[in-house]
Chains A and B, each alone.
Chain A
Amino acid sequence: MFALNEALVVLVRSIIAFFTLLIFARMLGKQQISQLTFFDYVLGITIGSIAASLSVDITTRAWPHWVGLATWTGAVFILQETSIRSKLGDRYLTGEPSIVIMNGQIMEKTMKKLRYTTSDLLEQLRDKGVFDLNKIGFAVLETNGQLSILLKPEYQPVTPSDLKITSSNAGLSNQLIYDGLVIEANLARAGVDRIWLEQQLRAQGINSPSEVYLAGYDANSGSLYIDKYQDNLS
């Protein structure tokens, strides 16, 4: 009542919760939100909720919350390891992709088993840019709820190989200038030097790299992208 400093206690407990959560999240890897299954999503909410209690619920001790956080993270870690090491374990823990359209026909029984409605299917098809069911060869509902579709051969987009056209390899673009500063390490990686860069800049009427916000160079295609601070928008 008189000496208990609630704000200070919450501050210390929040620091503990924040860094614990950060380390635990790093331990659990780089799975993206879009790749999460429903169970992963619920696990994330539960772990977040325990961390929130650890941070601000000062009516209870911090230690049991921390143990809870560690236990849930440990359990997720074990599940992840099991999924990685055992194919059977992965099948049971994360499930398997299900075919919901086969040879253009909707698999009603499979959809019923998955509790996946026709409107869900149509919505996800529209999201993929498919508005006509006749165009679909196969549609697979992935374990994370995303729909993968394979169009019938006659509706698939043409590729350069279909047209017998040779195409150059697209590589990764290297950032040569960022925020007006030349990144020397990337110049060497892209196989160019500062003199070449300054020549290219002068060719575009730029006197100094400090006028450039971002410059990227693709060594494979030889294309140089330059964005100046001064934008000429009319």
Chain B
Amino acid sequence: MKSLKYYAFVALLFAVFIFIMNSGDLFKKPLGSGDDFMLYMNQVEENISVNEWQTASINYEKLHRTWKKIVPRIQYSVEKDEINAIDVNLARLESCITSQDKTLALLELNEAREHWHDLNR
């Protein structure tokens, strides 16, 4: 009985560890309202495609806020470099929107999307 409890405890501990180490895929998905990263990415992309820079700027702010919410959730299971890469993409994207540079803005968005997919991979 004692050893059964011990093995059950070890199994539970490993299950918790494995969950923490692989929780990135789950926690990068929206868990409530207003934290859908991909939704805001698509909205910003649409705005930029039709040169709606004002709306793109508003949606960029939402995208940035969402990213700030997601990082603490996924930081235990993803590569720090991927997080940093998305940070850089978002910073560049903001400048592209301000300077209304469509080509570079779309480039940064696509790169950020790639890094997003690579999180927890």
Q: Give the B-binding residues of A (Cβ under 8 A).
A: 1-6, 8-9, 12-13, 16, 19-20, 23, 58-63, 66
Contact = CB atoms under 8 A, between A and B. Distances in A.
Contact of A9 (B17, B76, B87): B76
A4 to B, nearest CB: 5
Contacts of A4: 71-72, 75, 80, 83-84
Given A9-B75, A16-B20, A61-B21, A2 B87 contact: yes
B22 A5 contact: no
Interface of B: 10, 13-14, 17-18, 20-22, 68, 71-72, 75-81, 83-84, 87, 120
Contacts of A9: 75-76, 80
A19 B21 CA distance: 14
B75 A5 contact: yes
A16 B83 CA distance: 21
A9 B20 CA distance: 11
A128 B83 CA distance: 59
B68 A3 contact: yes
11 contacts: A4-B83, A8-B75, A9-B75, A9-B76, A16-B20, A16-B21, A59-B81, A61-B77, A63-B18, A66-B17, A66-B21
A63 B76 CA distance: 10
B120 A61 contact: yes
A12 B76 contact: yes
Most buried by A among B14, B22, B76, B84: B76
A11 to B, nearest CB: 10
B17 to A, nearest CB: 5
Give me the 5 closest cross-chain CB pairs, A-B, nearest first.
A3-B71, A63-B21, A1-B87, A58-B80, A62-B21
A8 B72 CA distance: 10
Given A3-B72, A5-B72, A16-B17, A63 B79 contact: no
Nearest to A27: B10
A62 B76 CA distance: 8
A83 B20 CA distance: 35
Q: Interface centre among A8, A12, A19, A63, by most B CB within 10 Å?
A: A63
